Amino acid sequence: MSTTTQTYSTASVDMPDESRQAHAMKSFAQDFGAVSALQIEACIHCGMCADACHYFLATEDPKYTPILKVEPFKQAYKRESSAFAPFYRLLGLKKEVSADELQEWQELLFDSCNMCGRCSLICPMGIDIATLIENARRAMFEAGLAPDELYQRAREQADSGQPEKSEEGYSDRIAAIGREHGIDIPIDRDSAEVLACVPRTDLEQYPEAVVALAKTLKHLGADYTFRSESLVAENYGYYAGSRDWQRKISMRIIDQAREIGAKLVLVPECGHAYTALRWQAAELAGEELPFRVRHVTEFLAEQVADGRLRLNQVDDEATAFHDPCQLVRKGGVMDAPRTLMRELGVNLEELPNKKGFSFCCAGGGGVNDIERARPLRYRAQELKLREVDGTGAKRFLTSCSDCRLAFTDASEHFDWDKRPESLLELVAANIKE
């Protein structure tokens, strides 16, 4: 596997190979435990995870087999922490993971894995491959081998609260969106029951989704606010594999929610933000969160069930829906979007692989941001586009902004006749006053 065209994080520029290996091995060792060891030893090499992975299905290249993506993790475990580790080292049966090998594996852990979890779901031995890959990403980060785009955005978000420097700050941008669309968007209120966040993607690409959120919350009479210090939902520390930066980014939201006395943190249409906040933030904070975390579709489905949100019927145009991986496989958010679509009267044509078995958009987990990954991403996306076309649907909805961005880019690349739409925007456009 050639590494000549790869771009490594700036952390690796002046790091000697020995240091790179040491940092990676230290991180691997920190994640070794009974569960990880059991999972690594449990693999029977059946290949089922390969048939679950859109990258393998698109290329038929065995290097994209999910369990093989944690091979350095397994190699390090066998040599450093397994029951027979002293013999492996003494007899030279397991070599040290080299710096060159780590560089080769960067593509497999970052460019060709969305951490979507479909491989974990399908594994007959119950191996959580996606979590092992998360652990391996952390080791790669410690070795200075996170992709540059993810490294830089994670560092910037940890330092300033937004992933990129810009002439117009994100809080100024959201205020401008409110003015442009004639809707009041509360920012930096001292107290509120709901702390809302937005995806960076929506601020930059889909401002109408920000307006849709504000319009819907206003209609419901929600006591809510955005906060300048915790505006962006995505967690680039999670993408890059930095546990410290992931914690720092999550703590921004946690601290702001505490400061205003929020009872609910509302995650917008962003799958990985949901995973980072709902399922991982409490562990990183070291305590139970004093508020609920809900995805916007969960929240709105609750409002429909309580009779507080009523929606007009849309046309009967055949519609396909993409289930975002982080919501359905890691969060179980399958019924909420369908509750909203039923209330709207959407003529839903389900995909062959739906809900927990849905194929990934191929852009999540930070892959959207890695420029060199674009050609491989397009190959993996073709599988999903064919599925959507196979339903005969004319409208295509999703409830994740990163998925929407990935499909928008694919639409332009393939000259596809569909453009992904936001379920939230459809709800906001059809509120029954």
% of the chain residues with pLDDT over 90: 75
The overall average pLDDT reported for the chain is 90
Whether residue 202 is predicted with pLDDT greater than 80 in this model: the reply is: yes
Residue 197 or residue 4, greater confidence: 197
Residue 79: predicted pLDDT: 79
Instruction: Tell me the DSSP string of 224-279.
Output: EEB-GGG-B---HHHHHT-HHHHHHHHHHHHHHHHHHT-SEEEE-S-HHHHIIIII
d(CA 343, CA 341): 5
Sequence letter at residue 296: V
Domains with residue ranges and CATH for the chain: 10-146 (1.10.1060), 170-304 (3.40.50), 306-429 (3.40.50)
pLDDT over 50 (residue 322): yes
Question: 152 vs 80, which has greater pLDDT?
Answer: 152
Q: Mapping DSSP to helix (H, G, I), strand (E, B) and coil, where does residue 47 land?
A: coil
Model pLDDT, residue 28: 66
Candidate from 15-24, 90-99, 107-116, 234-243 with smallest mean pLDDT = 15-24
Q: Please report the pLDDT score of residue 2 as a whole number.
A: 33
DSSP for residue 43 = -
pTM (global) more than 0.75 = yes
Region 192-215: what's the mean pLDDT? 96
AA letter at 302 = E
The pLDDT value given to residue 97: 75
Helix (H, G, I), strand (E, B) or coil at 84: coil
Indicate whether 376 pLDDT > 70: yes
- Non-local (6+) Cβ contacts of 187 within 8 A are 171, 174, 175, 225, 226, 227, 228
Q: Give per-residue pLDDT as tens, 110-146.
A: 999 999 999 999 999 999 999 989 988 988 888 888 9
Tell me what percent of the residues of the chain surpass a pLDDT of 70.
Answer: 92
Which residue(s) pair with 295 in the sheet? 267
Q: Which residue has the higher pLDDT, 70 or 373?
A: 373
Alpha-carbon span 12 to 240, nearest angstrom: 14
Q: Which of 84-93, 162-171, 191-200, 357-366 has the lowest mean pLDDT?
A: 84-93
Element (DSSP H or E) covering residue 194: strand 194-196
3-state secondary structure string, 140-169?
HHHCCCCEHHHHHHHHHHHHHCCCCCCCCC
Q: Out of 18-32, 138-152, 280-294, 321-335, which region has the weakest mean confidence (pLDDT)?
A: 18-32
pLDDT for 7 equals 42
Give 381-421 pLDDT, tens digit per residue: 999 999 999 999 999 999 999 999 999 999 999 999 999 99
Which strand (E) or helix (H) includes residue 293? strand 292-295
Quote the CA–CA distance of 290 and 415 in Å, as a whole number. 47
pLDDT given at position 98: 77
Query: Rounded mean pLDDT of 243-272?
Result: 97
- Where does the pLDDT of residue 377 fall: very low under 50, low under 70, confident under 90, or very high at 90 and above? very high
- Residues 233 and 227: their CA atoms lie apart, in Å, by 11
pLDDT tens digits for range 181-191 = 999 999 999 99
pLDDT of residue 200: 93
At residue 178 the predicted structure's pLDDT band, cuts being 50, 70 and 90, is very high
User: 6-49: per-residue pLDDT in tens?
Assistant: 444 445 445 676 677 777 666 666 666 666 777 877 888 999 99
Distance CA 53, CA 116 (A): 9
What's the pLDDT at 314? 96
401 and 270 in contact (C-beta within 8 Å)? yes
Q: How confident is the model at residue 327 (pLDDT cuts 50, 70, 90)?
A: very high
Give me the long-range contacts of 159-162 (CB less than 8 A, separation at least 24).
161/228, 161/229, 161/230, 161/231, 161/232, 161/252, 162/200, 162/231, 162/232
Q: Evaluate if residue 51 carries a pLDDT over 60.
A: yes
